[in-house]
Amino acid sequence: MDTKQRILDEALTLFSEKGYANVFVGDIAERVGIKAPSLYKHYKSKRAIFDAIIEEMNRRFEEQAKAMNINGSNAAADAKVYENMSEEHLLGLGRQFFLYFLHDDYNKRFRKMLTIEQFHDKELADLYTKLYVDDPLSYQGMLLGMVAQAGLLKTDNVEIMTLHFYAPIYYLLTICDRDPSREEQALKTLDEHIRQFNRLYGRTK
């Protein structure tokens, strides 16, 4: 990884742990293994580093969204997948989402940074809401909607059903961000949540 990228990476780590204001340019430089003034050959200011992180993150998420839409469309075309959606499949869906968000390193650091900085300006608040509230709800709503259409979940309000699926996942995620030692317990709760969700909305059970 080149220096310019390593600066971004180390900065994100520090920002996610201490918040933008508590991280000094010298701290970032030290981690990269250079002196603070050298850093200004790569970025013109501390704020420029922060902005570059946001930009890169937007790029990554757009990429990901594109990939998921392709899968989503493929899945829609190949709808038979959903006619065989079992409780185990549903558990997999929830677990996969939860663990990816929780453990993917870039995701995790970025989410923590946004959590800390979200009230700093409206743009960051909107970004947080998009990434961790609206987008997951819309994506999962699409999937659950297809499962419902296949007759395996029964509801007259897909939006609320999706809220019932996702809100506990989000809730458990924020717990683990604060205290990783609760992860094991959270995973157990997650499974119980999804089994119960399936029982509540499942047609046959």
Is 92 a residue that touches DNA (CB under 7 A)? no
3-state secondary structure the chain: CCHHHHHHHHHHHHHHHHCHHHCCHHHHHHHHCCCHHHHCCCCCCHHHHHHHHHHHHHHHHHHHHHHHHHHHHHHHHCCHHHHCCCHHHHHHHHHHHHHHHHHCHHHHHHHHHHHHHCCCCHHHHHHHHHHHHHHHHHHHHHHHHHHHHCCCECCCCHHHHHHHHHHHHHHHHHHHHHCHHHHHHHHHHHHHHHHHHHHHHECCC
Pick from a second copy, DNA, none: which does 61 bind, CB < 5 to 8 A by kind?
none
Closest approach of DNA to the CB of residue 106, in Å: 23
Q: Which residues pair with 153 in a beta bridge?
A: 202
Torsion of CA 133, 139, 142, 144, to 10 degrees: -70
**Of DNA, a second copy, none, which one sits near residue 24, judging by CB under 5 to 8 A according to partner kind?**
DNA
- The CA distances from residue 166 to 135, 139, 169, in Å, are 11, 10, 5
Nearest CB to a second copy, comparing residues 157 and 204: 157
Q: Which one of a second copy, DNA, none interacts with residue 116, CB within 5 to 8 A by kind?
A: a second copy
As measured in angstroms, the least distance from the Cβ of 3 to a second copy is 27
When CB distances are held under 5 to 8 angstroms depending on the partner's kind, the choice from DNA, a second copy, none that residue 36 binds is DNA
Q: Is 200 among the residues that bind a second copy (CB under 8 A)?
A: yes
For residues 19 to 58, the per-residue mask of contacts with DNA, x marking binding by CB under 7 A and - elsewhere, is ----xxxx--x---xxxxxx-xxx-xxxx-----------
Judged by CB under 8 A, the residue of 83, 104, 105, 179 near a second copy is 179
Q: How far is the CB of 132 from a second copy (least distance, A)?
A: 9
Length of the chain: 205
Indicate the residue among 44 and 122 with the shorter CB distance to a second copy: 122
**Does 106 interact with a second copy (rule: CB under 8 A)?**
no
- Residue 12 binds to DNA (criterion: CB under 7 A): no
Under the rule (CB under 8 A), what is the footprint of a second copy? 16-19, 21-22, 112, 115-116, 118-120, 122, 125-126, 128-129, 133, 157, 159-161, 163-164, 166-168, 170-171, 174-175, 178-179, 189, 192-193, 196-197, 200-201
